[in-house]
Amino acid sequence: MSIPARLLQMLLTLAALSLVFYLLLGLMPGDPIDLALTADPRLTAADAERLRALHGLDRPLWARYLSWAGAVLRGDFGYSRLFARPVLALIGPALLSSLALLGLALGLAVLAGVGLGVLAALRPRLGPAVQGLAALAQAMPGFWLGILLIILFAVTLGWLPAGGAAEGGEPRWPFLVLPVATLAFGHMAAYARHALSAMRGAMADPWIRTARARGASEGRVALRHALPNAAVPLITLLGLDAGSLVSGAVITETLFARPGMGKLIFDAVMGNDYNLALVALLLVAGVTMLGNLAADLGQRALDPRLA
């Protein structure tokens, strides 16, 4: 399928997803006024009816969806009930924060994971150690590792902040170190295991024997001949992870009290903030689809048989 056709398909998918998300959010038990009633004992039944009418919650779900979709087509993405701000004004900073966190974490995870995988493929005696480390990284819950890192580096040594984000003129990097390390350690496992497996397969291929017979060094064999072939499944994995760049990491963001997309989406869904939840979820879906498209194109570039 051509790229314009893929992009058109993505747009249609996003339109269908917007309807599905809207219906799912709208059908969840309770509405924002129900939530307000539980928080404010002074709200009466008359107040609830008045507020429902004011917020348009007394209209059928389909009518609300059509109003929302019409406004979006006019470029109005609505207003967040939860944060009393336009949705786009909220998503911008959260997205930047998540991109910084997830981008660094994924970059570190890919570098460390692929590096370890390649090393283990070249030095088979290191294989069990790398696999053990990958298993540990995969098995250790992120929140647990995060707490351990906070205790060591923030509470005990006092070298790094326990959480939050930089303010004013404060340097940003100290606030990123612990959350990036926490996230990267978990993600690294998948890349290490896939890299090891792919490299082992590639190193057994006939052209590797040919390269060796022609006198190429082991390093050159691995990096110039085996790694490009082993990269195809890794690129697929990276494409699938693209969505997480904008979906954030709710547990890490909560643990380190970092404003980001994961926490924003969680709060929006739990707080019945339809406008915010919808736009954020559609953004995640859109970026995931773009990531997959980019991965397909990357695979085609690396392996002409896929073109």
Partner 1 sequence: MAVRGGAGLLAVLALLAGPATAQPRETLTIGITQYPSTLHPNIENMAAKSYVLGFTRRPLTAYDPNWALVCLQCETLPSIENGLAVREATPDGRPGLRLTYRLREGLKWGDGTPITAEDLLFAWQAGREDATGFGPAEFYRSAYELRVIDPRTIEMRLDRVTFDFASMGDFQPLPAHLERAVWQADPRAYRTRTLYDTAPTNPGLWSGPYRVSGVQPGAGITLARNPAWSGLAPQFREIRIRTVENTTALEAQLLSGQIDMIAGELGLPVEQAAALERRARGRFHVEYRPGLIYEHMDTNLDNPVLADRRVRQALLLATDRARIVAQLFDGRQTVAHGPVNPLDRMADPAIRQYPYDPARAAALLEEAGWRPGPDGIRRNEQGARLVLDLMTTAGNRSREQVQQVVAAMWRQAGIEARIRNEPPRVFFAETLSRRRHQGLAMYAWISAPEAVPRSSLHSDEIPSAARNFSGQNYPGFRNAEMDRLLEALPTTLDAEARRPLWARLQAIYAEELPSLPLWFRQDAHVWPLWLEGVRPTGHLNPTSLWAEEWRSR
Dihedral over Cα of 229, 233, 239, 243: its sign: negative
151 touches partner 1 by CB under 8 A:
yes
Residue nearer to partner 1 on the CB measure, 56 or 219:
56
139 touches partner 1 by CB under 8 A:
no
Residue nearer to partner 1 on the CB measure, 201 or 259:
259
Among 3, 270, 301, 306, binds partner 1 (CB under 8 A): 270
Q: How far is the CB of 84 from partner 1 (least distance, A)?
A: 4
165 touches partner 1 by CB under 8 A:
yes
169 touches partner 1 by CB under 8 A:
no
38 touches partner 1 by CB under 8 A:
yes
Name the nearest CA neighbour of 162 among 285, 100, 255, 82: 255
Q: How far is the CB of 163 from partner 1 (least distance, A)?
A: 5
144 touches partner 1 by CB under 8 A:
yes
**Contact positions toward partner 1, by CB under 8 A?**
28-31, 34-51, 54-55, 79, 81-85, 90, 93-94, 141, 143-144, 146-148, 150-151, 154-158, 161-165, 167, 251, 254-259, 263-264, 267, 270-272
